[in-house]
């Protein structure tokens, strides 16, 4: 199934993923992670995109972000991608592409689904078998969202803020939230949504969005059209 055109309205969170070309390494050293994080912050500020969660793996990145203006996410990812490729090619004396085509993204319903994306993103190193606890992986927003480490990159979403009426309650609630693994059906839903550029959310919410924006955000119905009676 072909991907739909990007759907990235102002104020609606986006789950973003970008992979290395042919799943090859795009972060080979701690300095690489630091450089990417620095430019992510720079361009997020420039294009008015709030970053809520992230994880930088050796061959791909996940971001959860909300744009405050039109084309904010697209401009952020284009600028960040070009800047990092220039750095990477210069550092490792290579040439050519680094990323696997264009980044993938999907809009996310805030209620019920946004915190699931937080969990999916920050538990990525655990699912990959790299660590047993998300706190053991440095290049993740879990240190901010779950441990309270101050970060200029992280902007808490209102759904995260609703976890408690003070910092300690929010941190405790969030850590409890991440103790369990993400349901396998939800993982499938998240992956299919981002791979196809669909909306991640309830069927009712998808219907409301399609009506409001006049575009499809869920899979097309399968099967041949019914013949009309004559």
pLDDT at 1: 45
Kindly state whether residue 9 falls inside one of the protein's structural domains: no
Kindly state whether residue 7 falls inside one of the protein's structural domains: no
Kindly state whether residue 175 falls inside one of the protein's structural domains: yes
Specify the pTM: 0.90
CA pair distance 139, 135, nearest whole angstrom: 10
Kindly state whether residue 221 falls inside one of the protein's structural domains: no
Tally the domains of the chain.
Answer: 1
pLDDT at 72: 96
Provide CB contacts within 8 A for 56, sequence distance 6+: 27, 33, 36, 37, 139, 140
Kindly state whether residue 103 falls inside one of the protein's structural domains: yes
Kindly state whether residue 230 falls inside one of the protein's structural domains: no
* CATH at 190: 3.30.70.1290
Kindly state whether residue 3 falls inside one of the protein's structural domains: no
Per residue in 31-52, pLDDT (tens digit) is 999 999 999 999 999 999 999 9
- Enclosing domain of residue 99: 14-205
pLDDT at 213: 80
Sheet holding 49-56, edge to edge: 49-56, 60-67, 14-19, 104-107
Kindly state whether residue 213 falls inside one of the protein's structural domains: no
pLDDT truncated to tens, each residue of the chain (230 aa)? 455 667 888 999 999 999 999 889 999 999 999 999 999 999 999 999 999 999 999 999 999 999 999 999 999 999 999 999 999 999 999 998 999 988 999 999 988 899 999 999 999 999 999 999 999 999 999 999 999 999 999 999 999 999 999 999 999 999 999 987 778 888 999 999 999 888 999 889 888 888 888 777 777 665 554 454 43
């Amino acid at each position: 199934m072909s991907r739909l055109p990007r759907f990235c309205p102002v104020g609606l969170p986006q789950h973003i993923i970008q992979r290395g070309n042919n799943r090859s390494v795009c972060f080979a050293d701690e300095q690489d992670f630091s450089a990417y994080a620095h430019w992510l912050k720079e361009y997020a500020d420039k294009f008015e995109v709030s970053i809520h969660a992230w994880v930088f793996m050796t061959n791909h990145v996940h971001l959860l972000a909300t744009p405050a203006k039109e084309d904010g996410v697209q401009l952020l990812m284009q600028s960040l991608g070009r800047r990092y490729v220039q750095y990477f090619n210069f550092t490792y004396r290579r040439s050519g592409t680094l990323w696997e085509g264009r980044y993938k993204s999907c809009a996310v319903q805030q209620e019920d689904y946004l915190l699931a994306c937080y969990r999916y993103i920050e538990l990525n190193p655990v699912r990959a078998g790299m660590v047993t606890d998300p706190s053991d992986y440095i290049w993740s927003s879990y240190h901010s969202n779950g441990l309270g480490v101050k970060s200029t990159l992280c902007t808490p979403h209102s759904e995260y803020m609703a976890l408690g009426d003070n910092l300690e309650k929010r941190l405790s609630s969030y850590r409890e939230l991440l103790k369990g693994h993400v349901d396998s059906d939800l993982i499938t839903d998240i992956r299919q949504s981002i791979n196809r550029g669909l909306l991640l959310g309830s069927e009712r919410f998808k219907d409301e969005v399609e009506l409001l924006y006049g575009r499809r955000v869920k899979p097309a119905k399968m099967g041949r059209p019914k013949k009309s009676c004559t």
